[in-house]
Amino acid sequence: MSAAEDRATTAAGPTVPSWPAFVLGMMTSDKGTAMSKDDKIGAAKHVTPHLDQLEGGPWPSFVTGLKRLRDSKGKQYAPMMNDLLGQLEHSYTNRLGYWKGGTVSVFGYGGGIIPRFSEVADKFPASKEFHTLRVQPPAGYHYSTEVLRKLCDIWEEHGSGLIAFHGQSGDIMFQGCTTENTQKAFDALNEIGFDLGGAGPALRTSTSCVGHARCEMSCYDEVKAHRSVLNKFVDEIHRPALPYKFKFKFSGCGNDCVNAIHRADFAVIGTWRDDMKVDQEEVKAYVGAVGRKYAIDHVIAMCPTRALSLNDDNTLEVDNKACVRCMHCLNVMPKALRPGDDKGASILVGGKRALKVGDLMGTMMVPFMRLQTEEDYEALVELAGKMLEFFGENALEHERIGETIDRIGLPAFLEAVGIEPDPNMVRHPRTSCYVRTDDFTEEAEKYFERKKFERAAKKPPVAKAAE
Amino acid sequence: MSQAKAAETKVTPRRPKETGVPDPFPYMHPLLKKNYGKWAWHDRPRPGVLHHVAESGDEVWTVRAGTQRQMDVYTIRKLCDIGDRFAEGHVRFTTRSNIEFMVSSFDKVPALIQNLQAEGFPVGGTGNSVSMISHTQGWLHCDIPGTDASGVVKSLMDMLHTEFVKEEMPNRVRITTSCCQVNCGGQGDIAINVQYTKPPRINHDLVANVCERPAVVARCPVAAIRPAMVNGKPSLEVDEKKCVCCGACYPPCPPMQINGPDSTKLAIWVGGKHSNARSRPTFHKLVVANLPNNPPRWPEVEEVVRKILYAYKKNAKDWERMGEWIERIGWPRFFELTELAFTKHHLDTWVGARHTMNMSAHVHF
C-alpha cells in the first residue's frame, strides 16, 4: 500500500485533510477527544509483535520503557502511550512514518515546540497530539538527581513520561504532549529555571563540552562562552526571524567533542598560542612503558606537521611553530603534555549538512581569539552578534551562512563583518587565475601595516568592529 | 475570544521568564565546581571509568553508562536512585547520550558499576571503544522519517555491546544513524543513513493548498521541480531524469511523498571524523547503498556494519580512526577486506567531484 493510499484509507472522512497545519490547528480545538484524563486504557493494549523483538538483548530497551508508561495504572499518559505504541507498531509494519507538523506554541514565544499530529489518529486517538518541547539543558549537561526528579514529576503530570537526554539539537526533548498541556508543561518547567530552545528559522539551542568542569585539555571557560553568547540573543531563539537556522557550538579543544566544525554555523574551538607544556619525566615514563618503537610509530610519526622528535634520552622535542594544536600527542600522553597558558579559541564559520548545496564544514574565520578576561568574552559576544546580524540581513531564505559565504565569496564576507584576511583561513592560496588584482599593492601594504601593528601589540589578528 | 470577554474571565496568560541556558553550577558535582578550569591530568583505570586529577590534588572518578536515550520517567528515576545511593547525587550526560556519575573516592566505583550493570545499564563507552550511536527521532516522532531511529540504534547496540564495554578498538569509533538524508545523526566513522531511491510521488490534489510552490521549486538542489497544471489544478511536477531523490522537497511540501515502504533504502558511509586529532575533520564516504529498510532489527545493516567494524579492528594501527586507516591502506584494499562492491555510484558527481578523484599516478596494488 502506498503512503497516499494508506492515508486515504485512514482519514476519517472528507473533512480530515492529510496535511495542512493550519487546518489541523483548528481541529485541535475540538473537545471531543476519545479519552479524557480519567479514563483508564479504554481500548485493549495494542499488540506489538515487531516492537516486542526490541526488548531482548543487552542494550537498554526503549520499548520496555514505553510499555512501562503504557502500563502505569491511573496515570494520565497511559492511554496516550498505548496508542503511541500502536502507531509505532503500525510504522514498523508498513515501513512509513505517520506524523505531520503544524503550529503549536506557548504564550509569548514563536518557537521551541515541535508539533506532531497523527495521520492515523482514527486508529490511535489518544496519541493524536504528541508534541515535543525542546528545552535548553544546563551548559555542559550537568544535572543533580534532584532536578532530574523534578523534570520527571512535571512531565509525568503534563506529558507522556518520555524524555530524551538529549536531541541532536542539544535540547532535552520532552516528547509527547497534547496541545492543551503544552502551555502547562512549559510554565512548570519555566518556573524551575528551564527555558525553551530553538526551532525553525531561528537561533538554535547550543551545546558545550564538559570542558573546564572536568577536562585538562579545555582552553577556555565553555560555560561562560556558551551562556554569554546564547543568553545575549535569547530573543532570536524564541521568536524565529532569521532566514534559516543558526547554530553555535562550543568545544574546549581541537578534539571537538560537540562536533562543532561539522554541525555549527559558528564553531568555537579552544586552542592556545604559546608553547605546549611538556613534563619530560612523564614523557620518559610513557616511552619507558610502551617502548621507543611504539612511541615513535604512534606519537612522533602520527604528528600531522612533523613537529615532534624523540630524543635519544627519551625526552620530547616539540617544534611549537610547526604544531597545529591537533591534540593527538596530548590525547595519547595526557600526563606528559598539556596546552600552554595563552589560551583562547579559534572561530570557524559555516558548518552544515547536505541541504541544499552539499555538506559544508566550518572554515577558519578567526585563528585566535584570546578568551581569558571579561573583555575577551565580551568580544566573543560582539563577534557572534555581528555574524548573526550579517546573516539576518544578507542570507536568502533557507540559506545557511556557509552557503551565503560561498555565494558572495569570502573576501566580501570578511569585509562585511570586519575581519582581515589571514593565511590560516586557507589550506593554500587560490589556484584559479580568474581574479582582478589591480589593487594588490594597496592590499599588500595594508597587510604589512597590520603585521607591524600586531607585532607592536603582540596580539594576533582578532575580529575588529566593522563599524 | 473577544478582548472584552477575555477581560471578563480574567484570563491573564503567564509571561515566560526568558532565562535561556540554565546555569549548570547549581547542578554540578562539588568537586567539578571546586576545580573548575584547574584539572591536571586523567587516566582510565578500566573501561567505563575515568579518573581525573586536579591541580589541587583532588581526584574524581567518573563511571559512564549507556542509556536508551528515549527514557521513560521510571528509567530516569532509577538512574537517580543509583546516583543517590551509590554516587553523590550528581550526573551529567555526554554528547552521545551516555550518563556519567561522578564520585570522590575510588572505593565507591565497584558498587556503582555493579548496580548499574544489575539494572541493565552497560558500563563503558570510554577511550577506544565503540560508544553509543548518535541518535535521531525516526518513526517515533519525526514528520519526515524514512525509518526508525531508536529501533536501529537498539539493534546495533545489542550487537556492539561487547565493544562498548571494552576499549579494544584501534581508536574511538563513532557511529551515527539518520532517518533521512537531512542527516541529523551527523558524520561518523560509520554512518547508517536513509537513502531514497525513487523520485517523490505527488498527490496533485493537495499541492496547491498545502505547498508554497515557489519555495518548493527553490528548495531543489538540481532544479528538477517546476510549476505545472495537473488535472486542471495548479501543482508541481518533477523531471525524474534530473531528480537525485534527495527528499529536499518533502518537508516543505508533504504531498511530494519521498518515502515508500520498498523504495526507502539504507546506505552505509565510512570515514567521517569530527576531531582535529592527527588529520583534519572529514566527511564520511559512501560504501554501500540499497540495503533494505527491514524492521524491527535491520539484519542486513547489522551484517555490513559488523564486516566494516571488524576489518578495521583487525587491520588498523593503534590511533588510526576509520578514515585514517582507509587512507593508509587505500580504497581498493578496503573494499577487498570488507568484501563490498565498488560501483559507478561511488564516483562523486556533485560540485567539486573532481577533487575527490585520484589526480596522481599513486595506485594501490
Q: Terminal CA-to-CA distance of chain B, rounded, Å?
A: 77
Residues of chain B neighbouring A80 (CB-CB closer than 8 A): none
* pLDDT over 90 (residue A36): no
Position A81: which residue type?
M
* Helix (H) / strand (E) containing A390: helix A374-394
Per the document, the length of chain A is 467
Confidence label for A29 from pLDDT (cuts 50, 70 and 90): very low
Phi-psi category of A343—alpha, beta or left, where left has phi over 0 and alpha has psi -120 to 50? beta
As separate numbers, helices (DSSP H) first and strands (DSSP E) second, chain B gives: 10, 14
Domain A3-191 falls under CATH 3.40.190.10: no
Residue of A114, A126, A111, A141 lying closest to A201 (CA atoms): A111
- Give the model's pLDDT for residue A355: 82
Q: Where are the domains of chain A?
A: 3-191, 207-273+342-457, 277-338
> Which pLDDT belongs to residue B9?
60
Instruction: Give the 3-state secondary structure of residue A294.
Output: helix
Dump the DSSP string for B84-108: HHTS-SEEEE-TTS-EEEEES-GGG
Banded pLDDT at A279 (limits 50, 70, 90): very high
pLDDT band at A24 (very low <50, low <70, confident <90, very high): very low
pLDDT tens figures, B3-53? 555 455 667 889 999 999 999 999 999 999 999 999 999 999 999 999 999
Phi-psi region of A219 (alpha: psi -120 to 50; beta: other; left: phi over 0): alpha
pLDDT attached to residue A357:
85
| Chain B residues lying within 8 Å of A302, measured CB to CB | 278, 319
Q: What pLDDT does B4 receive?
A: 54
Find the mean pLDDT for residues A248-273: 97
Residue A204 contacts residue A230 (beta carbons within 8 Å): no
Domain boundaries, chain B: 26-118, 138-197+262-347, 201-257
Topology given in CATH for the domain delimited by A277-338: Alpha-Beta Plaits (3.30.70)
Evaluate if residue B201 carries a pLDDT over 50: yes
B87, B129 contact by CB (below 8 A): no
pLDDT for the residue numbered A42? 52
Q: Of how many residues is chain B composed?
A: 365
Among residues 320-349 of chain B, which lie with CB inside 8 Å of chain A? none
Paired sense of beta strands A162-165 and A172-175, if any: antiparallel
pLDDT at B57 over 50: yes
Same fold, B26-118 and B138-197+262-347: no
Pairwise pLDDT comparison (B333 vs A1), residue with the higher score: B333
Q: Looking at residue A458, what is its pLDDT?
A: 67
- The whole-angstrom separation of Cα B196 and Cα B263 is 6
CA A163, A204, B25: angle at the middle one, nearest 5? 65
d(CA B322, CA B299): 22
Query: Rounded to whole angstroms, how far apart are CA atoms B106 and B122?
Result: 19
Q: Which residues of B touch A262 (CB under 8 A)?
A: 186-187, 272, 274, 281, 283
State the pLDDT at residue B11. Answer: 73
Which fold is adopted by the domain B201-257? Answer: Alpha-Beta Plaits (3.30.70)
> What is the predicted pLDDT for the residue at A19?
37
CATH of A207-273+342-457, one of 3.40.50.1700, 3.40.225.10, 3.30.413.10, 3.90.79.10: 3.30.413.10
Please compute, for residue A431, the number of CA atoms within 13 A of its CA located in the half-sphere on the CB side.
4
- Are both A3-191 and A277-338 of the same fold? yes
Helices (H), A125-266: 145-158, 179-191, 222-232, 234-238, 260-263
Are A167 and B274 in contact (CB < 8 Å)? no
The answer to whether B296 and A53 have CB atoms below 8 angstroms apart is: yes
What topology does CATH give the domain B26-118?
Alpha-Beta Plaits (3.30.70)
Cα dihedral angle (A380, A383, A389, A393), rounded to 10 degrees?
-150
- A235 to chain B: closest CA residue: B18
User: ipTM above 0.90?
Assistant: yes
Mean pLDDT of all residues belonging to chain A: 90
- Calculate the alpha carbon distances from A458 to A205, A275, A320 in Å: 36, 15, 17
pLDDT tens per residue, range A200-232? 999 999 999 999 999 999 999 999 999 999 999
Residue B131 sits at the chain A interface (C-beta within 8 Å): no
**Does residue B98 belong to the interface with chain A, where contact is any CB pair within 8 Å?**
no
Which residue type sits at B58?
D
Reply yes or no on whether the pLDDT at A34 is more than 70.
Answer: no
The span from the CA of A271 to the CA of A254, in Å, is 7
Q: Per residue in B65-86, pLDDT tens?
A: 999 999 999 999 999 999 999 9
Record: contact B141-A54, CB cut-off 8 A: no
C-alpha to C-alpha distance for B70 and A62, rounded to whole angstroms: 6
CATH fold label, B138-197+262-347 = Sulfite Reductase Hemoprotein; domain 1 (3.30.413)
Three-state DSSP class for B201?
strand
